[in-house]
Structure 1
Amino acid sequence: MQHYEYTVIPAPGRAEKHKGAKTGADRYAATLADLINAKAAEGWEFQRAETLPAEERTGLTGKTTVYHNLLVFRRARDLEPAQEAGQPVTGHAAPANEDAPAGKKTILVEAPEGAAPKLRASRGD
């Protein structure tokens, strides 16, 4: 069974200027393509874009629901020799990545090829 690690990053909030891009949609598409190509150069494969709700505090006692646009990437994970021998592997948070921006986490999961992954998130304090 192939094992993958996933990383989720926020989608760009605004488009950057690009030569030849005249409309806002063109500029945003070029910005998004640059981001996806940069992750691909690091070995990440783009999976999908998601819009997910999150409850946030407003004021002292209020709460509101906001929606975040996220980009999901994955890459095949190299197995350690003991894991290749057939020992079960459980999902866990990847080791701390010093060059990762704050608030971004990579999660390791198990998923057969072509199947939807089952994410197991852990809280990293």
Structure 2
Amino acid sequence: MPRYEYKVVPAPSKGIKGKGVRGAEARFSYALQELMNGMAGYGWEYQRAETLPSLERSGIAGSTTEWRNVLVFRRPRAGDASEFQPELLPAPAEQIESDDQPIEMPYETDDTSNAPLADNGVEDTQVNASVGASLSILARARNLTAKHDAETPDQDDPDAETAEEPPKT
């Protein structure tokens, strides 16, 4: 049996203006219509209107009974177990290969030691690398920078061969 959650809202006490709406009754009906359509947009289903008593303070020690008009809405509760319908997944298709040999992965090894792989200049060369990966990349960048600096002449070095223009007179 489905379970519901309920929402009770105050009924409009005053009509609202709308295009082509004339007269007090039409404005009140239009206000009620807009409220009900707005609630339906959020999944609430109108149930009924109720007039209920409400005790309110009046003065310092007095109280009065006010009658309030409310509208009752309901919708099925989200996450209700009766709404849950499990979906059966299709069985996996069998893969048929032309030859019965297993596919070899290029980086798989039977040896679980840290066997070095070919250096591609970017990634770490150890199979079981963790934090050392970023350190090895940083070290490689420093080596490349040092190699580049050694190949290019230093701007401040007076012995470096540089072609300078003679001063104009």
- TM-score bracket for the superposition, by shorter chain length: 0.5 to 0.7
TM-score, normalised on structure 1?
0.62
Tell me: CA distance 1:52–1:3, structure 2 relative to 1, closer, same or farther (3 Å).
Answer: same
TM-score, normalised on structure 2?
0.46
Name structure 2 gaps, 5 residues minimum: 85-169
Distance 1:61 1:26 in 2: 41
Mapping 1:1-125, distance limit 5 Å? 1-81=1-81
Name the aligned partner's letter for residue 73 of structure 1.
Answer: F
Report SS of the residue matched to 1:12: coil
Comparing both chains, which one has the higher relative contact order based on Cα–Cα distances under 8 Å and sequence gaps of 6 or more? Answer: 1
Question: Which of the pair is proportionally richer in helix?
Answer: 2
Structure showing greater radius of gyration is 2
Query: Over aligned residues, Cα RMSD in angstroms?
Result: 2.0
* 4+ long deviations beyond 6 Å: none
* CA deviation after TM superposition for structure 1 residue 79, in Å: 3.5
Distance 1:62 1:74 in 2: 36
Name structure 1 gaps, 5 residues minimum: 85-125
Report SS of the residue matched to 1:43: coil
* CA deviation after TM superposition for structure 1 residue 30, in Å: 0.8
Question: Which of the pair is proportionally richer in strand?
Answer: 1
